[in-house]
Amino acid sequence: MKIAVIQGPNLNLLGVREQNIYGPMSLEQIHEQMKASAAQNGVELEFFQSNLEGEIVDKVQECLGEVDGIIINPAAYTHTSIAIRDALAAVNLPTVEVHISNIYKREEFRQKSITAASSTGVIAGFGPFGYHLGLISLTQIINEVKAMQEAKQQQEA
């Protein structure tokens, strides 16, 4: 099983920026924790971070046929990017949207997620642990999808 982890703008500054909101962990530390958990479960992770909307759209599109699912934190693009939302819908892969902070307790403009409509589920407000929850959730979803596909193939045979 292979999962893409796509990180949006300013997440490269985790551990430095607004620690009162995002905590002291760096993006690299979060990714290392995810790698350790994934390795225990036979999951391969591919990491990508960009501050540019078009690069994130390109990466989502590149996932088609290459990965089994996506964990994405679109960051500020969560609230503005129809392009990322449309790319997620187009590839139609199991997707978990993760937010470190609870976007529903933040400024009004952050309380609406445009990208959530193209995600299987959303995890928000659990800090960096949300990525672990996202990994567990997405692994389960992918396994369920594979099991349903196998059952359908057996019925057709």
Q: Look up residue 44 and give its amino acid.
A: E
One of 77, 79, 99, 131 is an active-site residue; which one? 99
d(C-alpha 104, C-alpha 108), whole Å: 8
99 labelled catalytic: yes
One of 22, 77, 131, 132 is an active-site residue; which one? 22
132 labelled catalytic: no
Specify whether the backbone of 92 is left (phi greater than 0), alpha (psi in -120 to 50) or beta: left
d(C-alpha 96, C-alpha 51), whole Å: 20
Catalytic residues: 22, 99
